[in-house]
A and B are shown apart, each in its own frame.
Chain A
């Protein structure tokens, strides 16, 4: 007989107008890392909130260590040894690590909080699992990765032996992700069981023992990871075949569309971030900019799109200078821009999704005539785009805020691609999205290339750069240090180039 610590059987949870979980089974074995896999909005967080006592299920039963239980609130979950690290951390910024961890369960000595004892316990726990947390640091002074470890410590401190991690890697750098993987391994070696929510298949293949898949609120099944493969997991998740290596024909580059000469750009703090950069992008090719965040990529793109002034140098679009033009002029001269931060720049979240589809063109015919908007034409246009790009929204009048991340991004892409620009700039176009949406977006970028457009792709994901680009420009310290093609390089070499080693050196290793 199997030794399950957590059993959730036939769970159903409804929200007004939507069934978030229907008939889902999840059985977690003692000491395993169990992945919960599903697209954005599949119902993963909901299921875990049910286990953690934040929501009450309409149907189904929960067993903990074989006992049937009724988890009415998080305190009950706590007593049962269940701890959860939420997608959004719940820490007090101005408190120290220790204060945050003991909050609500302060150890007392003569009715005074015994901080010293708590600190010792925290250090002991931290050492045991390799967390390396400084108990005296203030939360606001430590990195996001560290904050996450504090959240993990908090649950351990309360004696949890089942740990739920809700998309823990979404906020981490690749380095931090590796460290988290090691921490998880040391946790299970001490007998703790982990439920890991994610939609990244690589992570599942690396650390998980078994994986339960849910799709659109329905339980699809549980597989043993070592008997499975990323392709199988992906198709279970999205319900159809998914290809990882994006199919594409060789590029047919034509004239130079974007030409950047000796460009210099400063950041907000007046530090020179782009230092005399040169770059050409031709019609019919995708140039991927690879680089570690903070090497001037953001400033480069803001300079091209007119959002940030250039100090010196020249930016030419179809041989015409667009240096230091206003964003409006840049847009009108034929550039579309899928911005890196879709909430800050890409959408007016409180506008209906329909009105967001004309964010740059609202003043032009046919959407406006003599300064008066034609809502009929605006919404006809929006309807067309939404259908064509399969943006899932209740209707066109829904505020953009209410859409899921993937659908917001699809809406932005629809809007930007539809303007048929000469140059399409895509900055981190798939950040935070699941494989289905990523595949769709990559296809669109390649389609645009095949229509003869120049595409400039900025990404911090090497897979994406390798898969989609025809040519890779490696950016380091404000300059393009190397131009390579995906065929003549590999992730290893790219990683080294991005860290500043020269091609010769990188090639040797």
Chain B
């Protein structure tokens, strides 16, 4: 019989392996060599300092959106709205970052706080509706995603610029990009945001596992009735949870605005940074450390896959199917958990 802890580690590992095997079968079926394909994937993620920098760069917002979904989940809420929270966070970061003139030690924190607040506000609305009117957060957060997408486009075109498709660049005093990182990673877009994301993971871990506020949030997530009986304010906790989740995803948006791009373009579709955060959180078991690891894995898949067409000749459409399969198995880790549990029962 496996212990519970081992079990929690085993499930995501098996999910990833199954995804890789399924991807291999697809590549074989279409006449490509899966071993070459996966070597290309590996090299594409770790093969040079440039690729590694890009992988870290890609993982950075995933950590934050993953934490956002995980945090809400631990208090019993399903935050589908990380995507929209990324948009408003990005917008706020770029706006403050490009329009204010202040020394870095004031400007950068202020910009980050602005992004967090924007995301927090975007989480606050569904939280408030859930707490006071009992409206399901999934429905509201999905609608808030669309509002965020079109609202950001409008703001970029008509408020931040005069009909342009991109905003101004953020000023150096609000930028996370760094000459030094640029040099050591051969001009990848890796930026200091990774430190902010890792710091956020530590804060989330501490808050959830070590504080009275975290105790309440977890308790409300597991059993709102017992929490109310015990004197906790369930409504307050629902709102608080969505606000914090929103702030984390908003920071995820700031990573794009202050680090990767340095500006914000209008979008015709979602970035998927927030949606992928759902899979990241699931794979990470909704725990802080797990989310960080899962975010890196997603970074590896996204960036490494770019190398597969050139290095192994696998067409990029097929690469997308392979990565989607891996994500599929990861997302179905609940199914794998269920199957493992059956084995566990039948043992002996």
Contact = CB atoms under 8 A, between A and B. Distances in A.
Interface of A: 14-17, 305, 307, 326-332, 337, 339, 344-351, 355, 359-360, 362-363, 368, 371-373
A359 B211 contact: no
Given A349-B222, A349-B223, A359-B219, A373 B230 contact: no
A33 to B, nearest CB: 33
B229 A351 contact: no
B225 A344 contact: yes
Contacts of A350: 222-223
A326 B227 CA distance: 13
B226 A347 contact: yes
A16 B212 contact: no
B210 A348 contact: no
Contact of A351 (B219, B225, B231): B219
A331 B213 contact: no
B235 to A, nearest CB: 12
B228 interface: yes
A359 B225 CA distance: 12
Pick from B214, B216, B232, B347 the residue with the most CB of A within 10 Å: B232
Contacts of B6: none
Interface residues of B, number: 23
Interface in B215-258: 215-216, 218-219, 222-223, 225-233
Nearest to B206: A372
Contact of A371 (B1, B211, B231, B233): B211
Interface in B302-343: none
B222 A16 contact: no
A226 to B, nearest CB: 42
A349 B348 CA distance: 27
B75 to A, nearest CB: 12
B348 A363 contact: no
A345 B233 CA distance: 14
A362 B227 contact: no
A139 B214 CA distance: 43
Given A328-B233, A350-B223, A371-B211, 11 more contacts: A16-B347, A326-B231, A328-B231, A328-B232, A347-B226, A351-B219, A355-B215, A371-B213, A372-B210, A372-B211, A373-B210
Contacts, number: 70
A346 B219 contact: no
Contacts of B230: 327, 331, 359-360
A346 B226 contact: yes
A331 B231 contact: yes
Contacts of A14: 348
A339 B229 contact: yes
A14 B348 CA distance: 9
B348 A348 contact: no
Nearest to A362: B215
Contacts of A15: 348
A119 B225 CA distance: 43
A350 B210 CA distance: 17
A11 to B, nearest CB: 17
A348 B227 contact: yes
Pick from B212, B218, B230, B348 the residue with the most CB of A within 10 Å: B230
A244 B273 CA distance: 65
B229 to A, nearest CB: 4
Contacts of B210: 372-373
B208 to A, nearest CB: 11
B4 to A, nearest CB: 9
A359 B227 CA distance: 8
A210 to B, nearest CB: 33
Contacts of B348: 14-16
A2 B229 CA distance: 57
Given A326-B231, A327-B231, A372-B210, A345 B225 contact: yes
Nearest to A306: B231
A207 B125 CA distance: 61
Nearest to B227: A348
A395 B210 CA distance: 21
A1 B211 CA distance: 70
Nearest to B218: A351
Contacts of A330: 231
Nearest to B348: A16
B304 to A, nearest CB: 37
Contacts of A345: 225-226, 229
Given A16-B347, A328-B231, A360-B231, A344 B226 contact: yes
A394 to B, nearest CB: 12
B222 A346 contact: no
A305 B213 CA distance: 23
21 contacts: A14-B348, A16-B1, A16-B348, A307-B229, A326-B231, A327-B228, A327-B230, A332-B231, A339-B229, A344-B223, A345-B226, A348-B219, A348-B222, A349-B223, A362-B216, A363-B212, A363-B215, A371-B211, A372-B212, A373-B212, A373-B214
B337 to A, nearest CB: 15
